[in-house]
Amino acid sequence: MSEHDHPHEPITSDSKPSYYEIMETAVRELLIGKGLITANEIRHQIEVLDSRTPALGARVVAKAWSDPTFRERLLADGRAACEELGITFYDDTQLIVLENTETVHNLIVCTLCSCYPRPVLGLPPDWYKAKPYRARAVSEPRKVLAEFGTIIPDDVEIRVSDSTAVIRYLVLPRRPQGTEGWSEDELAAIVTRDAMIGVIPVTVAERAAS
């Protein structure tokens, strides 16, 4: 991709509530007011969401790195493979797992709002929901990745997958060299949320930082 000198919006969160956040508040209050859902039911769902963290996704990645047959099942049907590990899904969304290789790097975005694999990663980071990321991840993914410190060689294809209300994506990062013989727990400890979105690789340096 050629260089150009026009300015870009930084990958940061918006200071004001987005259109979708305003609509969510309005719809929630309307549903409660009509008695279609209660505040307690909403709180329960929030508790379910809060119980989900990237540690669940890290377990999935570590299992796939350690078990080739599980990796095949994961790539064939991400949701079913996660359910093998006891990870439950609280909606009807599909989970497609995309594998990074020597020739392909995957990046996940939701261009419309912030659809995200919450059952395995929990709540999305603010930058994932920000308009600059949602727009620029599609139009100039190499530059966006570079801002996260990830330089992708020109001969490596970048595939950007756009999440929807019914389809979510999870990146299976490349296993770093030097981790041969590691246990699944040791491997899971170096897998980060951002690596499973596709903005950074997994490195053994994460082990020392944890």
Place of tokens 């060689």: 153
Q: Determine the residue type at 137.
A: A
Catalytic residue among 82, 110, 161, 163: 110
Q: pLDDT digits over 16-54, tens only?
A: 777 877 887 888 788 788 787 777 666 655 555 555 689
Mean pLDDT, rounded, for 126-141: 96
Q: At what angle do helices 68-76 and 54-66 cross, to 10 degrees?
A: 120
Q: pLDDT digits over 136-187, tens only?
A: 999 999 999 999 999 999 999 999 999 998 999 999 999 999 999 999 999 9
Per the annotation, the verdict on 82 as an active-site residue is no
Distance from C-alpha of 142 to C-alpha of 147, rounded to nearest angstrom: 9
Q: pLDDT digits over 54-106, tens only?
A: 999 999 999 999 999 999 999 999 999 999 999 998 788 999 999 999 999 99
SS3 call for 24 = helix
Catalytic residue among 82, 114, 161, 163: 114
Which two structure tokens, joined as six digits, stand for 18? 């987005």
Mean pLDDT, rounded, for 123-140: 95
In this predicted structure, what is the pLDDT of residue 86? 94
Distance from C-alpha of 134 to C-alpha of 111, rounded to nearest angstrom: 5
Q: For residue 162, report the phi and psi dihedrals to the nearest 5 degrees.
A: -100, 115
The conformation of residue 130, written as its DSSP 8-state character, comes to S
Per the annotation, the verdict on 113 as an active-site residue is yes
Catalytic residue among 13, 18, 66, 113: 113
The chain-wide mean pLDDT, for the chain, equals 88
Per the annotation, the verdict on 110 as an active-site residue is yes
In this predicted structure, what is the pLDDT of residue 72? 98
Catalytic residue among 15, 66, 115, 210: 115
- The CATH code of the domain at 53-209 is 3.90.330.10
Per the annotation, the verdict on 114 as an active-site residue is yes
pTM: 0.78
Distance from C-alpha of 207 to C-alpha of 198, rounded to nearest angstrom: 19
Domain ranges for the chain: 16-51, 53-209
